[in-house]
């Protein structure tokens, strides 16, 4: 560890993932909201999906079933408020990332969270 660095090497901070989500939003590569996320999964533009840990059981099942059927990698991360805040919106149960490079960066930042192999 370097001076001033309080976290051990290799430990993932939530801020890194949230920063990447904010970057994706600024680049116009995020679909948020149920209809947009499901549409992105179905039409093949979603490269990966981030699902809030506190999303309702019905929502979690809906998103995970679609992701598995269309073979889109997904991750459970943070809560609805935090996901929404990361992209400058209200509560978000899920976010579809529509850029392969940003999805790779998310996986690199938090590889143990992904359910499906990218």
Residue 81: CA count within 13 A, CB half-sphere: 0
pLDDT in tens, 50-85: 999 999 999 999 999 999 999 999 999 999 999 999
pLDDT in tens, 23-44: 999 999 999 989 999 999 999 9
Structure pTM?
0.83
Can you give the residue ranges of every domain in the chain? 14-110
Among the residue ranges 3-7, 14-18, 27-31, the one predicted with the least confidence is: 3-7
Ramachandran region, residue 68 (left: φ > 0; alpha: ψ -120 to 50; beta: rest) = alpha
Coil, helix or strand at residue 50: strand
Cβ 31 vs Cβ 98: under 8 Å: yes
Query: Looking at domain 14-110, which CATH architecture does it have?
Result: 2-Layer Sandwich (3.30)
Helix/strand/coil percentages in the chain, nearest 5: 45, 15, 40
């Amino acid at each position: 560890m370097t001076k001033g660095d309080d976290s051990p090497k290799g430990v993932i901070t939530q801020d890194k993932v949230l920063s990447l989500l904010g970057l994706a939003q600024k680049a116009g590569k995020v679909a948020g909201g149920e209809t947009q996320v499901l549409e992105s999964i179905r039409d093949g533009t979603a490269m990966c999906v981030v699902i809030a840990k506190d999303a309702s059981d019905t929502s979690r099942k809906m998103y995970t079933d679609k992701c598995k059927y269309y073979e889109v990698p997904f991750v459970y991360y943070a809560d609805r408020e935090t996901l929404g805040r990361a992209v400058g919106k209200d509560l978000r149960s899920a976010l579809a990332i529509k850029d392969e490079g940003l999805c790779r960066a998310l996986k690199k930042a938090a590889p143990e969270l992904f359910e499906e192999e990218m």
